[in-house]
Chain A
Amino acid sequence: MTATRSLDAPVTNSDAGLTLDRSQLAGQRRAAKRRIKSGQPEGTDRGILSDSDRRRPGIRVGMGAVNVVLFVVLVIACVGPIFLLFKFAITPTQDILRTPMELFPNGIAWDNVTKAWNDVHVSRYFLNTIIMAGGSWATQIIVATSGGYMLSVLKPRYAKYINGAVMATLFVPGVVLLVPLYLTVLNPPLLSSSLINSFWAVWLPAGASAFNIVLMTRFFDNLPREIFEAARVDGAGPFRLFWSIVLPMSKPILGVVSVFAIIAAWKDFLWPMLVLKDPNIQPLSVRLPNLEATTDLGVFLAALAISTIIPIALFLVFQRLFLSGAGLGGAVKG
């Protein structure tokens, strides 16, 4: 904990953003407020506006306007392009080209979607993407949980050096790694064959995420030590402690890391493009730019829409993980 906290120390004046357990944090804050504002009934969460502010007519109208403006702007700017994508996915190509903003003047072309799925082989690239994301997820989870457990709970003497070395990689921009990592994968140490055109070339480097290690180590640091001691007294060895105590207690952070791992794999472009040269094993993100020139526009947009469904569905299902994780990312990265 110490090494990473010192990164934040100079710039943030509160530790609040670093605490993983948000509900606990909110509870503490509410309790603190109750102590300070005891006697005042309107002591729930407040922001800039006080309750008496909110009762003033000018502000009430203003906040109403803010509500409407935010709603309209967010819907048009954030949802609009995505909505258009799904609309174009089922519009005949001729209509897209001639009258893009009219609503289905010549009917709906559902066959855009089936053509994209079957004729353009989006189904295969879709499967490749899932394989790529699944493998990257597995590597990241294995490395982050075992590494975090070692750094936070087992703490051998060399742990602080490993921790330092992992932290140091946070400060190296990804671009420095690009070429040497490519050459490493091209000619890996201890292996006779190149990893190019194999999913391992994506799966293995994905595990080297210092950000995951930070998240895991911090979470493990906050787990109650008494339980570990009790388990040790009961005769649990390090493996048993890891499998039966630490992992089951870490479901929240495993969820965060998992969702981020899968989304990151889905988004990844440059690295898979460099190491997966064979079109038959390329994921969607690599394949789609190549399809652009050779595919009918309506079918191409349908392919884009299909590729967007899984990330958006994941987001809508796991909203809370995403939104708390995004705040977390900002707090940790500093």
Chain B
Amino acid sequence: MPTESDLSVSALAPGKNDADLAPTPDPAAQPHTRRPRRTPLTWLRGGGLSNLTFALPLLIIFGTFSWWPIMRAIVMAFQHTNLVNPATFVGWENFQFVLTDPLLPTAIKNTLYFALLALLFGYPIPLVAAVLMSEVKKLKGFFSVLAYLPVVVPPVIAVLLWKFFYDGSDTGVFNTMLGWIGLGPYPWLQSQTMAMPSLVLQATWAGAGATVIIYLAALISVPPELYDAADVDGAGVWRKVWHVTMPQLRGILFITLILQIIGTAQVFLEPYLFTSGGPANSTTTILLMIYNYAFGRSVGGDYGAATALSVLLAIFLAIFSAVYFKLTNSWSKS
């Protein structure tokens, strides 16, 4: 992508950047000279070595810890790997094993349930909070700090703290508070029906602040002229919210929705630390299954199955996002 600044630089320092332009001969730029041959020497003179020096940390780190493992994942999904024997190709066996695992339907159901609850709890609350907060003039900064505070608590600490709050006895923190208004005591994490909502409640607490800040940033960039025009047309507060604010936020709302879905599809920390998937597998998610295939205490070591399932999840998410963006794109245009 040669931008205009790039070209002007090469015009100013011809010795440095001529080599860069050499392989795509541009008759307009160099009409009279013979085409300069690219040799190691011209490469060196053109700053090739220093370019490479600056590229090196990125290439080494990304190569070793990102690109190589990604490619390896695709290969490993078709292999049996157990660290003792050399890896052997087994075709679709890993996928077959994973897809016929009796736990998989439960894990999919639980993950969907988590995502659904997270949407119900976590999607409207930040939006309402952000719209209200953006109209509060003096205390907006203070409120943003308060809202963001849970986000900076390290997730492990937040989960362990809430695990203690969720204590099922009648002297648990939440049960004591609910006792004041005559409710409970509830079993929270010990009950199959309440465990998942409890997890989602904590996840929403930990994550909502970040979304609020994103919405606040988006609300600032709504052009004030639109509100002025709506005022002139005699629109009331609700109509301005509904017909000006919401359409202006549509883009960012679509993005936060898909990000939240992708995030909740990979939920691991909450089920792992709160319940380890229990009671009776009622909080086992797909990521917990992947973890257990590879690193679990009882099974463990089945790296092929773990990679196969994670590749399947990634493919599903990719297709889902592609369809999602296709759909929302056409809605945005209409």
Contacts and interface: CB of A to CB of B under 8 A. Distances in A.
Whether A and B are associated in the same complex: the answer reads: yes
Nearest to A226: B5
A232 B50 contact: no
Contacts of B108: none
A81 B162 contact: yes
B51 interface: yes
B65 A13 contact: no
Contacts of B259: 330, 333-334
Given A154-B47, A189-B64, A333-B255, A81 B150 contact: yes
B92 interface: no
Nearest to A142: B57
Contacts of B89: none
Contacts of A326: 148, 151, 210, 213-214, 217
Contact of B310 (A85, A175, A233, A238): A175
A81 B206 CA distance: 11
Given A177-B69, A177-B70, A229-B12, A188 B64 contact: yes
Given A169-B62, A181-B65, A304 B70 contact: no
Interface in A176-221: 176-184, 186, 188-189, 204-205, 207-208, 210, 213
Interface size class of B (residues with CB under 8 A): 35 or more
A308 interface: yes
B170 to A, nearest CB: 11
A55 interface: no
A50 interface: yes
B194 interface: no
A180 B245 CA distance: 45
Contacts, number: 346
B176 to A, nearest CB: 5
Given A17-B221, A157-B20, A184-B72, A79 B149 contact: yes
A238 B251 contact: no
Contact of B160 (A12, A70, A289): A289
A85 to B, nearest CB: 5
A11 B254 contact: yes
A149 interface: yes
26 contacts: A48-B227, A53-B237, A70-B143, A79-B149, A81-B150, A82-B150, A82-B153, A142-B57, A155-B1, A156-B20, A158-B55, A172-B314, A176-B73, A180-B70, A180-B73, A183-B81, A186-B83, A204-B61, A208-B65, A225-B9, A269-B155, A285-B157, A289-B273, A315-B148, A323-B144, A326-B148
Interface of A: 2, 10-14, 16-17, 25, 29, 33, 36-37, 45-50, 52-53, 59, 63, 66-67, 70-71, 74-75, 77-79, 81-82, 84-85, 88, 97-101, 139, 142-143, 146-147, 149-150, 154-158, 160, 162, 165-166, 169, 171-184, 186, 188-189, 204-205, 207-208, 210, 213, 225, 228-229, 232-233, 237-239, 242, 263, 266-267, 269-270, 274, 284-286, 288-289, 292, 297, 301, 304, 307-308, 311-312, 314-316, 319, 322-324, 326-331, 333-334
User: Top 3 nearest A-B pairs by Cβ distance?
Assistant: A327-B217, A330-B214, A147-B58
Interface of B: 1, 5-6, 8-9, 12-13, 16, 20, 23, 47-48, 50-52, 54-59, 61-62, 64-70, 72-73, 76, 81, 83, 129, 131-136, 139, 141, 143-158, 160-165, 171-173, 176-177, 205, 209-211, 213-214, 216-225, 227-228, 231, 237, 240-241, 244-245, 251-252, 254-256, 259, 262, 266, 268-269, 273, 287, 290-291, 294-295, 303, 306-307, 310-311, 313-314, 317-318, 325, 328-329, 332
Given A175-B266, A329-B214, 16 more contacts: A10-B325, A11-B255, A12-B251, A14-B221, A17-B218, A37-B228, A70-B136, A74-B143, A184-B64, A188-B64, A207-B57, A232-B9, A304-B160, A307-B154, A311-B153, A326-B217
